[in-house]
Structure 1
Amino acid sequence: MRLVLASSSPSRRSILLSAGVDPVIAPANVDEDAIMHTLGSASASEVVQALATAKAEAIAPDFPDDVVLGCDSMLLLEGELQGKPKTVEATIKRWRQQRGKVATLLSGHHLITPDAHRSFVRETQVYFAQASDADIQAYAHSGEPLQCAGAFTLEAIGGWFIDRIEGDPSSVIGLSLPGLREAFYSLGFQASDFWHPNSGQ
């Protein structure tokens, strides 16, 4: 059984590879801004779920016999959803706003199998450090956080500036392995159905 990931995210691929799954990478081309515009006053959870669903549905017709996974992550900070900062300047501004604060990282997931669909959202509390201006500047110029939800990564340089989390670590990195396992079970699969033959060797 193949798992098709509707994302080019290195972090999501890395999580799956470390967990024994070698996914097919098939990035979805969706207009996230347009989708969010149509959602109006939807909740933060509904927004990330809608984006994850759109990504999975965009590529599912090309993989009718496989299991397709779409994901999306955004940071909820002081009542506002934060996506990818994309520029050094926006990253610096974002970090000056979020340092020393607690925010919620929401990760939406949508699975499509030949016979069914499953959706779920995981929420994790992220405690940001009181990062110095110099470190914020250096981190922004490293390029790492520019394409990351919340302008940080937990597993790389950004780990310096996250004091702790409450919740699912894999969800903060890119996708929830526990949530994925539960979804697989509900669809009649085992997690091990997707492991590549040399897993654990």
Structure 2
Amino acid sequence: MDLYLASASPRRRELLAQIGVAFERIAAPVDETPLLNEDPHGYVLRLARAKAQAGWLALQSQGLPPHPVLAADTTVVLDGELLGKPDDANHASQMLRRLSGGTHLVLTALAVTEQDKVETVLSESRVTFMPLSDAQIAAYVASGEPMDKAGAYGIQGRAGLFVAHLEGSFTGVVGLPLHETAQLLARWGLGALA
């Protein structure tokens, strides 16, 4: 094992395994409430650091072998506003209507920590959606896919059909930008690029 992954996301686990990193998952829940007047970049970086540090504390409290902890946070930003995970189907529909026919930002921050050392990196992508009809939004929301995803969509799933243009990192939009992840892990002597 190379490191711990402080994430419950199956998508992040799949992506990390894809680049040949041996890891174990560790639970690291944190409060994801944005701070007053917190900018989106600061928000995702703060949460990635907090998740990594929570993972480090969890492995210490459980008496697990000390290895670096990797964590990530992804958010969708539209006109400076954070679009987190939808509360319910109606909320998901509202988000998708707002994203329809426009361009939004997807930010994914990564953090690796071990003891007092923490390093972060940020991936920024621009995603343009085609105009969506009410019927397309309703069908997508009924699939259940948007319910646990920032911005109420998963680019790796059915919502990939909505994407007219992507500038940046596809895997960053999914939740774990592989290029940035590999570079960050290499600085710790881990992974394929180390």
TM-score by length of 2: 0.90
Alpha-carbon RMSD across the aligned residues, in angstroms, is 1.8
Residues 108-159 of structure 1: CA deviation (Å, up to 9, x unaligned): 1110135721011111001112122111101111111111011111111111
Question: Which residue is 1:198 aligned to?
Answer: none
Counterpart among 39, 49, 56 of residue 45 in structure 2: 49
Q: CA deviation at 1:22?
A: 4.2
Q: AA paired with 2:26? A: A
Question: Which residue is 1:126 aligned to?
Answer: 127
2: distance between equivalents of 1:116 and 1:129? Answer: 43
Greater fraction helix: 1
1: distance between equivalents of 2:179 and 2:154? Answer: 19
Question: Which residue is 2:59 aligned to?
Answer: 63
Q: AA paired with 1:108? A: A
SS at match of 2:86: coil
Q: Is the 8 A contact 1:5 1:69 kept in 2?
A: yes
Structure 2, unaligned runs of 5 or more: 61-65
Q: Is the 8 A contact 2:27 2:58 kept in 1?
A: no
Written as runs of structure 1 = structure 2, the 5 A alignment for 1:45-194 is 45-63=41-59, 65-114=66-115, 116-187=117-188, 189-192=189-192
SS at match of 1:8: coil
> Aligned residue pairs: how many?
189
2: distance between equivalents of 1:192 and 1:186? Answer: 11
2: distance between equivalents of 1:27 and 1:86? Answer: 22
Question: Which residue is 1:18 aligned to?
Answer: 18
Question: Which residue is 1:5 aligned to?
Answer: 5
Q: Is the 8 A contact 1:66 1:114 kept in 2?
A: no
1: distance between equivalents of 2:116 and 2:50? Answer: 18
2: distance between equivalents of 1:71 and 1:102? Answer: 23
Structure 1, unaligned runs of 5 or more: 195-201
2: distance between equivalents of 1:114 and 1:58? Answer: 11
Q: Is the 8 A contact 2:107 2:125 kept in 1?
A: yes
Question: Which residue is 2:30 aligned to?
Answer: 30
Q: Is the 8 A contact 1:30 1:55 kept in 2?
A: yes
User: Which stretch has the larger CA shift, 161-170 or 176-185?
Assistant: 176-185
Q: Is the 8 A contact 1:69 1:112 kept in 2?
A: yes
TM-score by length of 1: 0.87
Question: Which residue is 1:197 aligned to?
Answer: none
